Structure 1
């Protein structure tokens, strides 16, 4: 699919070139869905070709709530999962819609239609993106209060989108003959869904591993959503789990603080806010990694002086990283590189690779440069990377006590207290109601027993509730740590997977499931 991606990049460059030279506020100005498409790991889902017997429509039908009525229906499959979406928004412009995307157990891309059936998107061999036809009925209209629907089977790499208005989805055939679903892009101001207020919950629900669901602000903040999971069994701390996420009015408040920070330090924090072209209201806030992807010259040297000081400090003393694993505490020191004595690198005991100085984009994303993880890396390297990037993101390494990276209640007081820092992440956390939800990709580097990752998980899920516009008066309905313990699963720093869907991209081997 390289030639297609090259075309998409060329289109993207033409769209965004006027925004690259100067850091300008992003205004949502949707254009033609196909002509304005930008394809990246953030907004695509890859799968196998649709099954021949399912290319028109999956015939496994389940009962779905009549969204104009208050009655509910029950599934006839033990593999199904029920959702309840609660609308706590004070008002909507176009009416709420839900969209479910993911892969079925054969690896094929699926979407839920309004009849409760899997729909298999099929580009019919087209290497140019084509729109999902309206006849597919993939948009589920939601009621002004509470709506319920059920997905018919297990799902992986799933998302439940909720939007104020309709979203645009495209499908294209990959070079290998598989299906690629192109979803709305939060970073593309010309995306067909750019002026729609939307957000999503990520999830995977597998037979043996159970459900893993999360809310994430790693790439952007959009329509505010929280969730509550109900399991078939468990103790008081795990049977019902919830993640409240952000307050209902958080997006505008976050934008206001981002603008204030930009006025303070001269950096384009405020320009990361995406506003509606018609109303001027804040629609979403892009994370720095998303912003710099379309503003190549922005913030290039933001961390340069800080990184130089970190290298100078740890040339003379050890940086001790608690891996929270069998490797224990690992000592690291800046020294000449093994293959280039003139180059200073950070070397950690037992690590199979050394660390070069990260640049700003490496720190924003935590998955490039020294923070890239490859299959041949050993367990020490896989444990050090999340904690090292988290320490850079939280600006811990030059403050008192920063030479010992051990996640604890005490160390958390150091987060974001020094400049430069990731002010997007800092501000997000300040607006979280319960302190849960990723603000960067390794935000799950936390003290043992804590869950700042915004995860709910467990076996035999019965119901996943989604709260749109904040929890409102429903916040007291769930207990739980929001991080159910499953055998063989360690949550700290396990996000050695692509930025997109950092939770649901876990494969079965990582989950300990055959």
Structure 2
């Protein structure tokens, strides 16, 4: 349980870190524009499902720094103190639209998640450290048999960043969008027709990967766990990436891996060579700037542990690049990273097949199938510096 909670908090922190990086480098709104305290979120239910839908807007207030939830009017409510064992959280649910209907609520300046569930409400608890997010990799989690999903967003004075995510799991499909001041709409996260069921079919067909799929006792498919949680639960072999990792480490004992982590700073390069089982990166002067021990599958899929990525200007950016290269299996085929051309991704037989399968079923090929899927801009994200409206569309499960 502690391990699951640790990884859950890590996933949340990683997502927040990504949002922070995007906010830092994102375009600012026009000088005469001001992002209001709340903006409308239009929720459209195209799922064709008859169950009630429940919406939750949970996160950290960017005004006060408090953790809490927002109601349908966009009013923020701080969580009360939790306990040990965790105590039930206040009911933060907002009734969602019925099938074929739309509903508009308002969302405040938060960095957080918009959850939705079909049928039962989600069970949220509070510890002395804050909110316990659903952790369905834990078979005793009370939300294990509920069909639900979530989007992530940051709304601040610089605008809106809203994404769809499969970093933790692939489940009930949805599309995110933003309507700009000129009326145009940008969207992301939509699956191809038939793509939802096709993801599960492809996972079952990939030897060793079908165990990621979770079902209800009646056989209803609920979700596919991410590879990281597959490792934790034993649904995926701990050695699943060893063949590729070993080949990469062998190659760069006699070749150099060049990493250019910043697209806007092409002169900043680092050079990696493996010596004594450790990949050392040097700068242009030949000084060692950071080193990596050979990672395992958990480090690769979670972009953590031996591939930790601190929020700095050297190790973090190099680690992000390595993580993307391992997940996409481009480190052998291209010694100059990051490789940003999707045509070369997932071509090795040893790869992140979960990410490969999801990206292949997305209408625009973009997804957040692992933490640093934004390397090279392959993530499912919409952004606008002066948003008129955010959008969340619940898509069919077909």
1:347 to 274, 280, 295: 280
Deviation of the 1:393 alpha carbon: 1.0
Q: Secondary structure at the match of 1:428?
A: helix
1:303 equivalent in structure 2: 241
Alignment equivalent of 1:290, drawn from 229, 232, 236: 229
The offset of 1:97, in angstroms, is 1.4
| Structure-1 separation of matches of 2:344 and 2:203 | 21
Specify the alignment match of 1:240 in structure 2.
Answer: 185
Q: 1:330 aligns with which of 266, 269, 282?
A: 269
Structure number with bigger Rg:
1
1:288-311 superposed Cα distances (whole Å, 9 cap, x missing partner): 011112229x42222223222222
**Paired residue for 2:115, among 161, 166, 171?**
161
Distance 1:356 1:38 in 2: 22
Q: Name the residue aligned to 1:9.
A: 2
**Equivalent residue, structure 2, for 1:83:** 41
CA distance in 2 between partners of 1:335 and 1:243 (Å) = 39
Deviation digits for residues 88-125 of structure 1 (CA, Å, limit 9, x no counterpart): 11223x211111111222111222335654333213x5
Per-residue CA deviations over 1:140-167 (Å, capped at 9, x if unaligned) read 23232333333363212x2111111211
Q: Which one is further off, 385-394 or 136-145?
A: 136-145
Say if 2:217 is the partner of 1:277: yes
- Partner residue in 2 for 1:373: 309
Match of 1:383 among 298, 301, 317: 317
Q: RMSD of the alignment, in Å?
A: 2.8
TM superposition score normalised by structure 1: 0.66
Cross-structure match for 1:68: none
Q: Is the 8 A contact 1:330 1:348 kept in 2?
A: no
C-alpha contact (below 8 Å) 1:82/1:148 kept by paired residues: no
8 Å contact from structure 1 (residues 110, 121) kept in 2 = yes
Correspondence list, 1:452-467, <5 A: 452-467=378-393
Say which SS state the counterpart of residue 103 (structure 1) adopts. strand
Mapped contact 2:69–2:79 kept (Cα < 8 A)? yes
Structure 1 residue ranges without an equivalent (≥5): 1-7, 13-36, 46-76, 175-179, 337-342, 473-514
Residue equivalent to 1:480: none
Task: Tell me if structure 2 keeps the 8 A contact 1:327–1:380.
Answer: no
> 2:72–2:106: 8 Å Cα contact kept in structure 1?
no
Q: Which runs of 5+ in 2 are unaligned?
A: 14-34
Change (3 A) 1:470 1:248: farther
Q: Deviation of residue 331 (structure 1)?
A: 5.0
Higher fraction of strand: 2
**Residue aligning to 1:185:** 135
Counterpart of 2:160 in structure 1 is: 211
Q: Cα offset for 1:407?
A: 3.0
1:148 is the counterpart of 2:87: no
Match of 1:461, SS? coil
Distance apart, 1:251 and its partner CA = 3.6
